[in-house]
Amino acid sequence: MTPNLRSVSQDHANNERICTLIWNRLEHLLPPSVSNRDAILVRYRALNIVSLSEAIQLQKYCFITHRKRVQPVSCTLLNSLNFAASEWMATARISDNTCDALDCVVDSALLTRLLGFTPDEARVCFS
């Protein structure tokens, strides 16, 4: 499956528009202490979240594995959750409004935090 990419500058412009729309709808609901729109945008940018198309575009220029934080709109598990050699193994297909789909390997440490137990502990339970 080939991703449908758009330019990174369009992605940032879309993110700004989305933040502005959300802000305009929710501003009156926020307490006065959180009324500074720029502070919220600064905190969002500090999370270093990139769009899928931006992550794929950056990947073209890398010769080694790198990690990026993305915020997918949809996520589908492609195979069943397994463990082997003390590592969780799972593959997911993620997508957002900038890319059709991207298949990713889910980090074992993330799965351990989400599930609340390690593969070794699961192996003992199923033995």
**Residue-range domain boundaries for the chain:** 8-126
| First and final C-alpha spacing in the chain | 39
Burial (Cβ within 10 Å: 0-12, 13-18, ≥19) of residue 113: exposed
Rg (CA), the chain: 19
pLDDT for 11 equals: 61
Looking at the predicted structure, is the pLDDT value of residue 78 above 90? yes
pLDDT for 43 equals: 78
Predicted confidence (pLDDT) per residue in 28-37, tens digit: 666 666 556 6
- Check residues 125 and 22 and name the one with the higher pLDDT: 125
pLDDT for 9 equals: 55
CB 70 within 8 A of CB 48: no
CB 5 within 8 A of CB 60: no
